[in-house]
Amino acid sequence: MTKPVDKFERVSEIARRRGFFWPSCEIYGGISGFIVFGPLGSILKRKIEDKFRDIFLRRLGLYEIESPVILPERVFKASGHIEHFKEPMVECMNCKRKFRADHLLQEAAGISPMDSERMSLKEIEEAIEENGVRCPECDGELSEPRYFLTMFETTIGPYSDVVGYGRPEAAQGIFVEFRRLYEQARGKLPIGVATIGHALRNEISPRQGPIRLREFTIMDLEFFFDPEEPGCPLLSEVKDEALRLVLAESRLRGSEEPVEVTVKEALEKGYIKMEWQAFFMALAKRFLMELGVPEDKQRFIEKLEWERAHYSVQGFDQEVYLDRWGWTEVSGHNYRTDYDLKCHMEESGVDMKVFKETKEVERTEVSIQPIMARIGPDFKGDAQRVIELLTKVKPEDVEESLKRLGFYNLEGFKILPEHVRIVRRRITERGRRFLPHVIEPSFGSDRLTYVVLEYAYSTKDGRVVMRIPRDLAPVQVAVLPLVSKDGLPEKAREVYSLLIDEGFTAQYDESGSIGRRYARFDEIGTPICITIDYQTLNDDTVTLRDRDTWRQVRTSIKELPQLLRGFFSLKLEFGDLGKPVE
Amino acid sequence: MTKPVDKFERVSEIARRRGFFWPSCEIYGGISGFIVFGPLGSILKRKIEDKFRDIFLRRLGLYEIESPVILPERVFKASGHIEHFKEPMVECMNCKRKFRADHLLQEAAGISPMDSERMSLKEIEEAIEENGVRCPECDGELSEPRYFLTMFETTIGPYSDVVGYGRPEAAQGIFVEFRRLYEQARGKLPIGVATIGHALRNEISPRQGPIRLREFTIMDLEFFFDPEEPGCPLLSEVKDEALRLVLAESRLRGSEEPVEVTVKEALEKGYIKMEWQAFFMALAKRFLMELGVPEDKQRFIEKLEWERAHYSVQGFDQEVYLDRWGWTEVSGHNYRTDYDLKCHMEESGVDMKVFKETKEVERTEVSIQPIMARIGPDFKGDAQRVIELLTKVKPEDVEESLKRLGFYNLEGFKILPEHVRIVRRRITERGRRFLPHVIEPSFGSDRLTYVVLEYAYSTKDGRVVMRIPRDLAPVQVAVLPLVSKDGLPEKAREVYSLLIDEGFTAQYDESGSIGRRYARFDEIGTPICITIDYQTLNDDTVTLRDRDTWRQVRTSIKELPQLLRGFFSLKLEFGDLGKPVE
C-alpha cells in the first residue's frame, strides 16, 4: 500500500536535489527537527524575510533588533515559559520511545486537537486507558503521561550554576530590552520592534520537513501602544481588506465555516478586539498573497481559551491550506496586553512603565507604612519578610480587608490594624505612568519558505515549473549561449559579467541542449533565461524567455539592466521587455 | 585614577544611547558575552553581511547555506572539537571566580600570548607559581589549571542521552552536507559554500562589548578545490593588490614588522602557500577597505604552529588596528586541507570522495589480505581488532616494513609476513577519486560592526559625525521640514512617502531646531538630510545636506529617487546631486 505522491513529496524531492532544503546531518542518519537551507533555499528564505522587513518594518518605520538565542533562566522564569512551555509525554514501556501524548490521542483515538490540547495529565491518562492506546511503533504499553519542558537547556560560562535556555520565541529578547528601545525612540509610543532569528523548541515529536522544527527562524514583531489610546491611525489603508475568520464561537459549535468580513466590519462586530491587531492581520494576509498564496487558501482561526498561549487574551492563527496537512498555521496574532512587561518588571525590580504627559489631574495616593515597633516583636525572624511582602500588595486591598475583616492575610501572615499605618495623599499629576500593551504578529520563515515552494509548484507539458514570485526567485537570470562554440560562450560570458556588475543574481550555463537548460532553470524558478545566439554576434541583441509562459522577446544587451530592474521590482511585465519572437 | 576616554568608550556610549548595540539583559544585571544589536546596529550589521555576500558569493558564483546552530555530538567528535576546543582555566580558591589561565599569565605575569598559548597545563601551573600569580579580584590563591570545553552543551529531544552542542563555527555544518552540495553543483569543483549565522563559544572570560562574545555571528566560507589543480584562475584580478604580512619567521625572531608585497610576490616567495588563499586574503583586504579601514590599519599575521587551529596547515589572521586593543583579529584564513572531510568520512563511514574524469591511466593497486588461519590462532581475542586495524593502514607501509624489519607494528600488534598477503593489481582508471582540499576565510560580523563604527567615528566643530560608508548607513535619508508650521510638515511627509515607496530607508523628524536635527542625524551616520523649506512650496525643490562636509545642494523632488539611487550605489558623488547652495 503506497500513499499517492503528494505535493510535499514532490516539492521535497526537488528541494533536496536542487538545493532548497533537506534534513540536516544525513551522513549521521539525520537529526529529527533540524534542516538545512541550501544554495537556493537560503536565498529564497532570506528574500521572504526581507519582504517581511519591507512590509512590516521599513514602510511603517518600525524597528528590528538582533538579540541572542541563549538567554538566562530568569528571563524565562519571569515570562512564564518555565512554568508553561511544556508538553505531555508518554513513554513506551517496551521500546522506550517517547511520544507527545495529545498527538497520540489524536492519531490513535481520534480525539480532536481542540479536545486533546485542553486535557490535564489525569484526563490524558484516562483517555489512553479507555481507548486502549498503545505504542504505535511496537504496540507496547505506555507509561503514565508527564510533562516535558520543551526548551533547550544549557549552562552559561564555566560556572555550572548559570542555567540558560535557547529562546522558544524571539519576543522575550525584545521585552527585556524595552526600556532602552523606548529611550532610543525618544520616549514615544507606539513603537514596534521585531526580531528575525533562530529559535529553539525541543519538540517531543518533530514533523518531517520544514513544518515543525526544533530549530527554526522566527519573525516576531512586538508592537507597543498606549492601551488608553488603542486606535490605529493607519486603519484606513486596510479597512476594506477582506478577512476570512473562523471565530471561536463557531468552533465551539463545531463549525469551521469562516465568516468573510472586511477589516472594518470585523472591528465593528467585535470579532477582532484591537484595531492594531486587525491592521497587522490585514498586512499578514497581503504578505501571504505576495508570497503566492491566493485569498481563498488563507484564513484566520480564533484560538479558544485553552489553546491560547499563557500570555494572550485574544489570538488568531493565520492558516494556509497545504496539500498534505490541510489548514496549517503560518502566523500567530496575539494580544499580549502588558503581560510580559509586567512579569519582567516584577522579576527584575526594574520599572518598565512609561510616562505620558497629560493635562493636570488630581488624585489620591494610598500607601502602607509598616509600624516597625509592632511588626518586630509580633513577627520576630519573619519581620523582614513581612515588610518586604507589604511593599508588593495593593494598599487598597489591605485597607479594605482591615475594615471588613479586621485583619489582612499576607501570604499566611496575619496583619492587624496596629501593624500598619494607611496613608492618603493628594497628588497633582502632569502625566500618566503606565505599561504599554502589546500586539504581536509572529511568523516562521522556514514554513513560509515551504509554503512558497508548494504554491509555486506547477507542471507544464509534463515538466515542473516553479512559479516562484519573481521578486523572490533565488536565481533571477540564466545566461545561456545557444551552443558552446563559434564565440557564443565568450559573448554570453560578457553578458553574464554585465549582469553581475549590475547587481543581479545570475547563473551562466552552457552544458546540454538549450531545451534541457531551460527545463533546469524552470525547475528552480528562474524567471528569465537569456539566450545568446548567432544574431547576438551581429546586432548585440538577445532573447529573453519567460519561465511561466515560455514566450520569448528580443532586446538589446545595453538595455538589459534597466529592463530587468523594472521587471524584478514589479514595475514592468514580461511583455514590456522587448519585441516578441515568432 | 581614571583612564582617558578611548574610542571604544565613546563609540559604546553612542551605540547604547542611539541604538547600535548594548549588553543583553541589562535589567537582569547583564549577561557577560551576550549583546543586542539595536534598531540601527541590526541594519548596519546586516548590510556588512550583505556586502560579504556580494563580494565573496554573488560575484564569484559561490553559495550560501543556512544550517542549524545545534548539532549532534558526533559531528564535533569527528571534527576534533570535543578533543581540541578547550581552554585552560583556573579557579580562585577563595572567591570561586574562574579565569582563563593563559590570559591571566598575560595580564599578571607579562607572558606574551605567543608563549602562554602554547603552554601545557603543567607549564601553566609552574608559571603561576613562579610568578606568584593570584586572583585579580580578591588576591586569593588559584587552583590547579584544568581544561574547560568551551562549547555550549545541551540535549536534543526528550531522550536525555542525545547530546548536542552549539556550533563554535559554522564550518562543520557545511562539511557534513558536502556530498549533497557537490551533487547540487552537478559534480564540479571548485565550489565555495558559506554560512552566515549565530555561533556559540562558552568563553571563560568574555571581553566587554562586541569583541569577544559567547554568542556571535560567524561568516565562514569553505572553498573546496582539487589539490592537484590548486591554481586560482581569478588571480589576475588581485595579483597587484598589496598585502602587509607579518610572517611566522619574523615573529619567531621577535619582530612584528610586516613585509609589504603584492599577492603575486607573496605567492612567488612562498609566503602564502595556496593561490586561493592569497586570492581570498586580497578580497578580505578590499572588503575591510570598503568597510572604512584604510590599508595601513590592516595586516595579516601568520599563525605559528601552536597557535593554529588543529585543522590548519597554514593560517593568517587579518588584523585591524583598534584604539583600545591594538591589532585585533577580524578574519582568519586557514588552509584546512582535507582534514574535515576525512574526519567525517571516518566517523560516518560515508564516502566523501569526489570523482574526476581524466585520461585513461594505468596504475598498480596494492592491498593487504589478512590470512585468517594464522591471525586467528596468533592473536586470539584480538584477531577481530587486528583485521579491522589492517583495513586502515597504508598497504605500502606494511609491505615496506615487512621487507625492512621483518615485521610491522600495528598499534602494538606485531604483524609478521605469514599473517598477511600483499596483493598487487594493475588497474586502468578513467578518473581519480579524491577528497577536495579546503581554503577557509572566516569573519565575525559583530566585531566588524564595531570596527565600522570605530573607523566612522569622527568629530567636526566639537560634534560627533559617524562617517559610516554610505552604502552601509542604517538610515539613508532624513526628511526634515525647516519649521513645523505653514504646511512644511505636510510637504515633508509627501517627500518621505515618495522615498519610502521608492525603497529607501528614511526617517521623518520635525522636533527641535534644524541644527539640532542635523546633529542628531550626523551622530547616527545618516549621509543625506533633505530639508523642506518655504522655497519648496513654490518650486518643488529641496536642499540636500552632506553629512561629511555639511555642504548643501538644491534639487527638484521628482529627481530625488534616481539621484539618491546613484549616490547610494556609489555611482554619483554628493556634488552630482544638485546645484550648490550659497
Taking contacts as CB-CB distances below 8 angstroms, the residues of chain A near B24 are: 67-68, 71, 173, 176-177
Tell me if A173 and B24 make a contact (CB, 8 A cut-off): yes
Distance (Å) from the C-alpha of residue B540 to the closest C-alpha of chain A? Answer: 23
**Polymer length in residues for chain B:** 582
Residue A131 has pLDDT above 80, yes or no: yes
Tell me if B158 and A181 make a contact (CB, 8 A cut-off): no
The whole-chain average pLDDT of chain B stands at 93
Contact present, B86 and B115 (Cβ < 8 Å) = no
Contact present, B225 and B437 (Cβ < 8 Å) = yes
Q: Which amino acid is at A375?
A: I
Taking contacts as CB-CB distances below 8 angstroms, the residues of chain B near A26 are: 177, 179-180
Distance (Å) from the C-alpha of residue A214 to the closest C-alpha of chain B? Answer: 9
Distance (Å) from the C-alpha of residue A414 to the closest C-alpha of chain B? Answer: 33
Dihedral, CA of residue B129, residue B133, residue B139 and residue B144, to nearest 10: -50
Taking contacts as CB-CB distances below 8 angstroms, the residues of chain B near A68 are: 24, 34-36, 198, 215
Q: What are phi and psi of A348, to 5 degrees?
A: -90, -20
Q: List, in order, residues 6 or more apart from B111 with CB less than 8 Å away.
A: B105, B127, B131
Q: What ipTM score was computed for the predicted complex, to two decimals?
A: 0.88
pLDDT greater at residue A328 or residue B372: A328
Question: Per-residue pLDDT averaged across B564-581, rounded?
Answer: 96
Q: What is chain A's alpha carbon radius of gyration, rounded to the nearest angstrom?
A: 30
Distance (Å) from the C-alpha of residue A462 to the closest C-alpha of chain B? Answer: 22
Contact present, B350 and A28 (Cβ < 8 Å) = no
Q: List, in order, residues 6 or more apart from B352 with CB less than 8 Å away.
A: A27, B178, B179, B341, B342, B344, B345, B435
Which of the four CATH numbers 3.40.50.800, 1.10.3720.10, 3.40.30.10, 3.30.70.890 does domain A475-580 have? Answer: 3.40.50.800
Locate B78 and state its grid cell.
Answer: 569527528
Taking contacts as CB-CB distances below 8 angstroms, the residues of chain B near A152 are: 70, 154-156, 164
A124 burial class (0-12, 13-18, 19+ CB within 10 angstroms)?
Answer: buried
Q: Which of A25, A35, A154 lies closest to B152 in CB terms?
A: A154
pLDDT digits (tens, 9 = 90+) for B313-366: 899 999 999 999 999 999 999 999 999 999 999 999 999 999 988 888 788 888
Question: Per-residue pLDDT averaged across A262-290, rounded?
Answer: 97
Taking contacts as CB-CB distances below 8 angstroms, the residues of chain B near A74 are: 28
Tell me if A154 and B153 make a contact (CB, 8 A cut-off): yes
Q: Which of A67, A157, A215 lies closest to B70 in CB terms?
A: A215
Give the model's confidence band at A161: pLDDT under 50 very low, under 70 low, under 90 confident, else very high. Answer: low
Q: Is the dihedral of CA A175, A176, A178, A181 positive or negative?
A: negative
Question: Per-residue pLDDT averaged across B76-82, rounded?
Answer: 93
pLDDT at B160: 61
Q: Which amino acid is at B440?
A: E
Give the model's confidence band at B223: pLDDT under 50 very low, under 70 low, under 90 confident, else very high. Answer: very high
Query: Residue B210's closest CA among A177, A218, A66?
Result: A66
Taking contacts as CB-CB distances below 8 angstroms, the residues of chain B near A496 are: none
Alpha-carbon distances, residue B514 vs A188, B480, B543 (angstroms): 20, 8, 13
Q: List, in order, residues 6 or more apart from B474 with CB less than 8 Å away.
A: B39, B40, B41, B43, B44, B47, B468, B505, B524, B525
Q: Which of A18, A24, A344 lies closest to B68 in CB terms?
A: A24
Locate A308 and state its grid cell.
Answer: 491560547
Taking contacts as CB-CB distances below 8 angstroms, the residues of chain B near A63 are: 19, 38-39
pLDDT digits (tens, 9 = 90+) for B270-306: 999 999 999 999 999 999 999 999 999 999 999 998 8
Q: Which of B58, B65, B198 lies closest to A37 in CB terms?
A: B65
Q: Which of B31, B35, B75 lies closest to A25 in CB terms?
A: B75
Could you tell me the fold of the domain covering A358-434?
A: 3.30.720
Which of the four CATH numbers 3.30.420.40, 3.30.40.230, 1.10.460.10, 3.30.1360.70 does domain A86-149 have? Answer: 3.30.40.230
Q: Which of A27, A67, A198 lies closest to B350 in CB terms?
A: A27
Locate A497 and state its grid cell.
Answer: 559579467
Size of interface A-B (CB pairs under 8 A): 226
Chain A CA closest to residue B162: A31
Residue A1 has pLDDT above 60, yes or no: no
Tell me if B68 and A36 make a contact (CB, 8 A cut-off): yes
B19 burial class (0-12, 13-18, 19+ CB within 10 angstroms)?
Answer: buried
Taking contacts as CB-CB distances below 8 angstroms, the residues of chain A near B197 are: 198
Alpha-carbon distances, residue B566 vs A415, A577, B292, B573 (angstroms): 73, 23, 20, 8
pLDDT digits (tens, 9 = 90+) for A12-35: 999 999 999 999 999 999 888 999
Question: Per-residue pLDDT averaged across A255-270, rounded?
Answer: 96
pLDDT digits (tens, 9 = 90+) for B173-221: 999 999 999 999 999 999 999 999 999 999 887 877 788 899 999 999 9
Q: List, in order, residues 6 or more apart from B333 with CB less than 8 Å away.
A: B277, B280, B281, B284, B300, B315, B316, B317, B318, B439, B440, B441, B442
Chain A CA closest to residue B351: A27
Q: What is the CATH number of domain B9-75+153-339+439-444?
A: 3.30.930.10
Tell me if B202 and A156 make a contact (CB, 8 A cut-off): yes
Cα–chain center distance at B51? 14
Chain A CA closest to residue B158: A204
Chain A CA closest to residue B78: A28
Distance (Å) from the C-alpha of residue A571 to the closest C-alpha of chain B? Answer: 11
Locate A47 and state its grid cell.
Answer: 528574500
Distance separating alpha carbons of residues A264 and A270, to the nearest angstrom? 10
Q: Which of B71, B152, B184 lies closest to A25 in CB terms?
A: B71
pLDDT at A309: 80
How does A469-481 read in b/e, with b if 16+ C-beta sit within 10 Å?
bbbbbbbbbbbbb
Instruction: Say whether the peptide bond before residue A190 is cis (omega within 30 degrees of 0).
Output: yes
Q: Which amino acid is at B352?
A: M
Taking contacts as CB-CB distances below 8 angstroms, the residues of chain A near B39 are: 63-65, 181, 184, 193
Residue B159 has pLDDT above 70, yes or no: no
Task: Indicate which of B66, B99, B520 best probes the interface with A, i.e. most A CBs within 10 Å of its own CB.
Answer: B66
Residue B4 has pLDDT above 80, yes or no: no
Locate B541 and state its grid cell.
Answer: 525643490
pLDDT at B349: 94
The DSSP-derived string for B98-144 is EEEHHHHHHHHH---HHHHTT--HHHHHHHHHHTT---TTT-PPBPP
Q: Which of B43, B67, B569 lies closest to A24 in CB terms?
A: B67
Tell me if A38 and B184 make a contact (CB, 8 A cut-off): yes
pLDDT digits (tens, 9 = 90+) for A389-428: 888 888 888 988 999 989 999 988 999 999 999 888 888 8
The DSSP-derived string for B312-348 is -SEEEEEEEEETTTEEEEEEEEEEEETHHHHHHHHHH
Show me where the domains of chain B are located: 9-75+153-339+439-444, 88-145, 358-432, 475-580
Distance separating alpha carbons of residues B497 and B539, to the nearest angstrom? 19
Task: Indicate which of B45, B70, B98, B523 best probes the interface with A, i.e. most A CBs within 10 Å of its own CB.
Answer: B70
Could you say which DSSP state residue A174 is in?
H
Query: Residue A296's closest CA among A281, A285, A283?
Result: A285
- In DSSP terms, which residues pair with B146 in a beta bridge? B89
The DSSP-derived string for A515-579 is HHHHHHHHHTT-SEEEEE-HHHHHHSEEEEEETTT--EEEEEGGGHHHHHHHHHTTSS-GGGGSE
Task: Indicate which of B28, B146, B203, B435 best probes the interface with A, i.e. most A CBs within 10 Å of its own CB.
Answer: B28
Question: Per-residue pLDDT averaged across B504-518, rounded?
Answer: 96
Tell me if A36 and B61 make a contact (CB, 8 A cut-off): no
Say which residue the cell 565613546 belongs to.
Answer: B10
Which one of A27-31, A116-120, B27-31, B522-526 scores highest in mean pLDDT? B522-526
Locate B147 and state its grid cell.
Answer: 581544561
Tell me if B183 and A344 make a contact (CB, 8 A cut-off): no
Taking contacts as CB-CB distances below 8 angstroms, the residues of chain A near B34 are: 68, 70-71
Residue A293 has pLDDT above 80, yes or no: yes
Q: Which CATH architecture has domain A7-75+153-339+439-444?
A: 2-Layer Sandwich (3.30)
Locate A117 and state its grid cell.
Answer: 490540547
Could you tell me the fold of the domain covering B88-145?
A: Herpes Virus-1 (3.30.40)
Least confident of A167-181, A314-328, B277-291, B424-438: B424-438
pLDDT at A159: 65
Taking contacts as CB-CB distances below 8 angstroms, the residues of chain A near B183 are: 17
Distance separating alpha carbons of residues A49 and B49, to the nearest angstrom? 15
Taking contacts as CB-CB distances below 8 angstroms, the residues of chain B near A186 are: 511
Locate B536 and state its grid cell.
Answer: 519648496
Tell me if B156 and A31 make a contact (CB, 8 A cut-off): yes
Distance separating alpha carbons of residues B34 and B216, to the nearest angstrom? 8
pLDDT at B96: 85
Tell me if A16 and B214 make a contact (CB, 8 A cut-off): no
